[in-house]
Amino acid sequence: MTSIKSKYGASRVGSGTVIVCAVAVTLFVLLYFGHTVGWDLTWRSFGVVPLHPEFFDMHAVTDHVACAAKGFNPYVLNNCDSIIRFNYPPVWLWLGHFGIDGSDSTWLAVSMTILALVVLIMLLRGRSVWDGLIASLAIVSPSMMMGIERGNVDLLILTLVGAAALLFSEHRYNRVGASVAIIALAVVLKLYPVFCVTLVSRLSRRTLLFSLMLAAVSLIYFVVIADYLPIIRQNTPNVSLLSYGYKVPLLGLDKLLSEAGRPVSGLANTWVPISTVILTLAVAAMIAFAIFRRGYSCCTVETGAAGTAFLFGAGIYCGSFMLGTNFTYRLIFLLLCLPQFQDWQREGISPGSNAIAIARAFIAMTLIALWLNGNSIFLFVPQLTDWLLFFGLTTTLFFNFLSGASRVGQAASKSLGAGSN
């Protein structure tokens, strides 16, 4: 297999070096100005509205863990922690057996951030300086910085999903099993990594095996914690504030109407948004089929780590988009798609190829989503971009599944033909 270094050249300064430097500079700015002018003002300069206590979302776990260890029910408001209700699977409460409490929030949040950045650097390294600059711009976006400031668990999930993408190999069953185990752990911790079953879009014997195993493990887990699922859903905020998802534009419209003293539409809770999702999926499937029938080969997902990370990231983005609303730190999973976008851009330089234009469009939409969603209560541009990304990524997934099915069918036909001879 061609190495990344031989594929992109032997330049000593590449994307990995650029990203490491950008992260180091950002860390220095945070620490220096946080110490001299204060954390709140420093975080606001990165487009993040800080919450207290520091690493608020990590406290939302550790404080509830400590309360549960004292016998309080974390899924309802109680005298121990009356700020928010717990909206994580009950497995997190096991941390109480190790003495974890609110005082551990800082080191846990910092550890998750470091691990997530290491995995991202490993996925994005080995490309050009320009690719490194684009990746750095995405990493320091308000969406990513919001996750870091909150100490949100999504950083740990990003680490696990990215590590599974680096480990997965379609040529080795032991790596398939290890990747399933890592993603299954992510599902146990936060549920939505089940959308990594989209790896089946690159249809082969091992990707099918991966997806079936992950689906089976996830189904068993969901049945085991079935009583908690509606409670978790109910305790999760459903707002337009710094959010993305298919309901967000209509929730944002109602917020604007309410602030203007006008009657709200209430469309977010009607058939309109889900019907729009179904229509978008249908159109994406039809366009993917038309592209496949015409024999185009652009946007074919690779079999390496970049392609696997893309399928995981695209699956989580599209799946979480269909959940209705998500806070914008979950957009960090779009970072997993960047290596494949950049590879398409490089490989699309041949005459007559549209891959480079498509790749640039995906990169631009990713940056807009990461920067503008995390910088405003409601803006039409990022919400439209979120829908375009959903449409583009689902079209790509459908197209790759059709291409993979065709390859599998052709291989089966040849095998049957050889057997009959």
What span, in angstroms and rounded, lies between the C-alpha atoms of 16 and 12? 10
Top-confidence residue, 13 or 397? 397
Residue at 419 is within a domain:
no
What element of type H or E holds 173?
helix 173-190
Is 420 part of any domain? no
pLDDT at 244: 94
Read off the pLDDT of residues 270-327 as tens digits, 9 standing for 90 and up: 999 999 999 999 999 999 999 999 887 778 898 899 999 999 999 999 999 999 999 9
How many helices (H) and strands (E) would you count in the chain?
Answer: 17, 2
Query: Does the pTM of the predicted model rise above 0.85?
Result: yes
Nearest C-alpha neighbor of 399 from the set 284, 316, 283, 279: 284
For residue 192, give the DSSP letter.
G
* DSSP codes of every residue in 348-415: TTSTT--HHHHHHHHHHHHHHHHHHGGG-S--HHHHHHHHHHHHHHHHHHHHHHHHHHHHHHHHHHHH
Model pLDDT, residue 420: 56
Burial class (CB in 10 A: 0-12, 13-18, 19+), 399: buried
Question: Does residue 417 form part of some domain?
Answer: no
> 149 is in which domain, residue-wise?
4-412
Contact between 58 and 101 under an 8 Å Cβ cutoff? The reply is no
pLDDT at 211 over 60: yes
Residue-wise pLDDT for 251-270, tens only, equals 888 888 888 888 888 998 89
* Count of structural domains within the chain: 1
Tell whether the model's pLDDT for residue 401 goes beyond 80.
yes
Give residue 370's pLDDT band: very low, low, confident or very high (50, 70, 90).
very high
Q: What is the pLDDT of residue 379?
A: 65
Residue range 131-154, pLDDT digits in tens? 999 999 999 999 999 999 999 999
Give the E-state strand segments of 8-135 in sequence order.
Answer: none
Q: Is the pLDDT of residue 353 over 90?
A: no
Cis check: omega of the bond before 53, within 30 degrees of 0: yes
